[in-house]
Structure 1
Amino acid sequence: MWQEVVNGGKDDAAACIVPTLDWLQRLPPVDVALDIQRWNLGAGESAVMHHARELAADRAILDDAAARRCARSINIAMTGTCGVIVLAKRRGLLPKAEPAFRQLQAAGLWLSEELIAALLQEAGG
C-alpha cells in the first residue's frame, strides 16, 4: 500500500525513493476479496494479493509469514524481498547482494547470518 511505504520518514530509503519512480504505477484502493479478508492481514499485504490475482501477476512480493501462508492457500505465486535481491544480483542489476541484505537487516527485517550466507550463495556473491 502506497501510504505504508511513503510514510516511512525522511531516513527511510524506500519512502524517499518510491515517490520519484516514474515507472511505478500507483493502483487505487480496492475492496479486497472476501477469501483474502478472512486472513485478517494488514491492508498492504491484502491489497498486494488482491491486485496480484486481479492483474494475473506472475508473482506477488510478500515478506509477512501470514501473508505468505494466505498466498499459498489461494494459489498466488510469490517471492520475498530477499528473492528480489537474489534475482537482481543474478541479472547483473546489483554488483553485490550483501549490502542490500545488510540494509534490510538494519531496517528491521529479521535475517540470520545463516540465511544471509545461503542467499549470497544462491545469488552468486
Structure 2
Amino acid sequence: MLDKISALHILPEVYEHILTTPEVVAEFQKSLPDWIEVIPVKNIQLKADYSLKVDAGEASAIALAQEIPNALHIVDDFKGRKLADELNIKFTGTIGVLIAAKQKNKIPLLKPYFDKVKSTNFRIDPLLLQKILDELEA
C-alpha cells in the first residue's frame, strides 16, 4: 500500500532495517529500492505451513519475521494480520507506519497520505482516520 500512495520512501526514515523475501518481491512486480534487503526464509516447512492460511508472499514474510529477533512485520492483509497475531509477531500496517513517521517528525502531515489511502481500495473506517488526525494533527 505504501507504494500505491507514493510513500515507500518513508520506510527507511522510520525503521533501521527493511527486509523482505523473494516471494514478496515476486508479488510486488517492480524493482525495489537498494535499501530493502531481500533474504530467503530458512525454515521452508514453516513457510509452507503458513501458505495454507495466507498467500505465498505473506507466508514467507511471516516466517521471516519469526526468524529475526524483535522483528516488526508490516502487513495490511486481514488474514496476514490474524496469523501474525496468533503467532505473537509484532506487526503494524500502512496507517501505523504513517503514524510512526508523523510521531518521529519524518512527515509534516498525515492528511495528504490519508487522502491518498482513501482513494485506493484500502478498507479503513473514515471515522478512525479522522480520529487519528484529530489526535495527531490538532
TM-score, normalised via structure 2 length: 0.70
2:75/2:81 contact within 8 Å kept: yes
Name the CA distance, whole Å, in 1 between partners of 2:82 and 2:126: 24
2:41/2:63 contact within 8 Å kept: no
Match of 1:89 among 94, 97, 102: 102
Letter in structure 2 aligned against 1:95: P
Unmatched segments (≥5 aa) in structure 2: 1-23
Partner of 1:49: 62
Match of 1:2 among 6, 17, 25: 25
Name the CA distance, whole Å, in 2 between partners of 1:51 and 1:121: 36
Report how many aligned residue pairs link the two structures.
112
Question: RMSD over aligned Cα, in angstroms?
Answer: 2.1
Match status 1:26 vs 2:49: no
2:41/2:64 contact within 8 Å kept: no
Name the CA distance, whole Å, in 2 between partners of 1:93 and 1:23: 17
The alpha-carbon distance between structure 1 residues 50 and 75, as it changes in their structure 2 partners (threshold 3 A), is: same
Unmatched segments (≥5 aa) in structure 1: 8-14
The alpha-carbon distance between structure 1 residues 54 and 67, as it changes in their structure 2 partners (threshold 3 A), is: same
Q: Which has the higher contact order (CA 8 A, sep 6+)?
A: 2
Match of 1:110 among 97, 109, 123: 123
The alpha-carbon distance between structure 1 residues 103 and 54, as it changes in their structure 2 partners (threshold 3 A), is: same
The alpha-carbon distance between structure 1 residues 32 and 121, as it changes in their structure 2 partners (threshold 3 A), is: farther
Q: Which runs of 4+ in 1 moved over 4 A?
A: none
Partner of 2:51: 37
Give CA deviations for 1:84-119 in whole Å, capped at 9, x if unaligned: 000000100011111112222223211332021122
Partner of 2:134: 121
SS of the residue 2:38 aligns to: coil
More strand by share: 2
Identity of aligned residues (%): 27
1:82/1:119 contact within 8 Å kept: no
